């Protein structure tokens, strides 16, 4: 961390103080009991710059459950494994305008999920990986570790078990997809991989580092490794902008103006192409499932730095 005019630390500390004022107004995700046990007053934020500098505040090095943020990693892996033409035949690229775990839209649209970030679309993406390799979880973990440039990223098996025990809605979505002919592997296998991908534990610093390739045209500046093409990075960023925050995506674009992906663990990962990857975490959620203080922090960051993609 540098101690100069570009040091974002004082700004982040200031944002934390402001954003923490939202804590107490939201609700932690209690439909996964293991997530309901996380202290609701946690707040962390990490900003990684494409030049390798990093700035953090609060609980930026505490691990949390990345939940739906994992869908970005599975999408990238599935595109690599099965190719974009095959994958985009099975899942769309439009905002859903519906709850992330809705069954109604899937039924009325004959098993073609609107996008890879709602649960139905994510299950199709996970299926593409599950049907392709004997150890999908290891393949995914290996890829996340490369993205984050950190070898000890792990799965919180208690969170995965807790979701599996209460995951009736996701099971219903998976069965519906199977009935509609859009799931190749066994329903139980896809669900087991899905719950474990969602239960990956990472800190804000890890997630921001793992999203850096999306800010840096596909390259991981920390290792110099080229992880995806600039075109793929651009396309994933577009999907984050249009589909990354469920049916709250329009309001988020209005307030923040930065492509991002949220998870019900309270994390939000965001990308300012050419500049920064950011991750903020605070467990209390708004009524659409997005971190309340996290959204506020990103709004303040965009406003105070005058950075957004618009």
264 is catalytic: yes
Contact 25, 264 (CB under 8 A): no
Q: How many Å apart are CA 145 and CA 28, to the nearest integer?
A: 27
Instruction: Give residues 269-308 in contact with ligand GLU (rule: CB under 6 A).
Output: 289
> Radius of gyration of the chain from Cα atoms?
18
Least Å distance between CB 214 and ligand GLU? 18
271 is catalytic: no
The answer to whether 68 contacts ligand GLU (rule: CB under 6 A) is yes
Q: Is 109 exposed, middle or buried (0-12, 13-18, 19+ CB in 10 A)?
A: middle
Q: What's the burial of 4, exposed, middle or buried (CB within 10 Å: 0-12/13-18/19+)?
A: exposed
Rounded Cα distance between 170 and 164, Å, is 9
The Cα angle at residue 48 between residues 45 and 53, in degrees rounded to 5 = 120
**Per-residue x/- mask for ligand GLU, residues 146 to 175, rule CB under 6 A?**
-----------------x------x-----
Residue 267 in contact with ligand GLU, rule: CB under 6 A: no
CB of 185 to ligand GLU, least distance (A): 17
Looking at 147, 195, 246, 276, which residue is catalytic?
Answer: 246
CB of 67 to ligand GLU, least distance (A): 3
- Smallest gap from residue 170 Cβ to ligand GLU (A): 5
| Secondary structure letter of residue 248 according to DSSP | G
Please report, as residue ranges, which positions from 16 to 55 form the binding site for ligand GLU (by CB under 6 A): none
Rule CB under 6 A: say whether 67 interacts with ligand GLU: yes
Q: Is there binding between residue 101 and ligand GLU (CB under 6 A)? A: yes
Active-site annotation holds for 68:
yes
User: What backbone phi and psi angles, to 5 degrees, belong to 222?
Assistant: -70, -30
CB 272, CB 307: distance < 8 Å: yes
Binding test (CB under 6 A) with ligand GLU, winner from 22, 96, 102, 119 = 119
Q: Annotated active-site positions, please?
A: 68, 71, 194, 246, 264
Binding residues vs ligand GLU (CB under 6 A)? 67-68, 100-101, 119, 163, 170, 198, 263-264, 289
């Amino acid at each position: 961390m540098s101690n100069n005019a570009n040091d974002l630390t004082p700004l982040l500390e200031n944002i934390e103080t402001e954003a923490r004022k939202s804590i107490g107004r939201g609700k932690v995700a209690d439909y996964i009991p293991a997530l309901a046990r996380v202290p609701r007053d946690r707040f962390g934020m990490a900003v990684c710059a494409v030049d390798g500098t990093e700035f953090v505040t609060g609980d930026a090095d505490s691990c949390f459950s990345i939940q739906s943020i994992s869908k970005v990693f599975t999408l990238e892996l599935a595109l690599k494994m099965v190719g974009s033409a095959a994958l985009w035949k099975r899942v769309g690229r439009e905002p859903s305008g519906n709850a992330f775990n809705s069954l109604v839209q899937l039924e009325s649209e004959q098993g073609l999920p609107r996008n890879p970030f709602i649960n139905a679309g994510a299950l199709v993406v996970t299926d593409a990986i599950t049907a392709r390799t004997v150890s999908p979880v290891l393949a995914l973990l290996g890829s996340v570790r490369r993205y984050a440039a950190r070898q000890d990223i792990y799965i919180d098996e208690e969170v995965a078990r807790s979701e599996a025990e209460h995951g009736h809605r996701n099971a219903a979505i998976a069965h519906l997809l199977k009935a509609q002919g859009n799931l190749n592997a066994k329903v139980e296998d896809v669900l087991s991989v899905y719950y474990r991908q969602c239960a990956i534990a990472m800190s804000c610093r890890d997630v921001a580092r793992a999203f850096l390739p999306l800010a840096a045209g596909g390259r991981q500046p920390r290792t110099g490794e080229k992880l995806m093409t600039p075109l793929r990075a651009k396309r994933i960023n577009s999907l984050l902008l249009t589909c990354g925050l469920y049916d709250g995506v329009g309001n988020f674009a209005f307030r923040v103006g930065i492509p991002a992906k949220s998870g019900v663990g309270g994390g939000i990962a965001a990308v300012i192409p050419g500049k920064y990857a950011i991750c903020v975490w605070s467990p209390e959620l708004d009524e659409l499932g997005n971190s309340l203080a996290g959204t506020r922090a990103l709004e303040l960051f965009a406003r105070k730095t005058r950075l957004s993609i618009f």
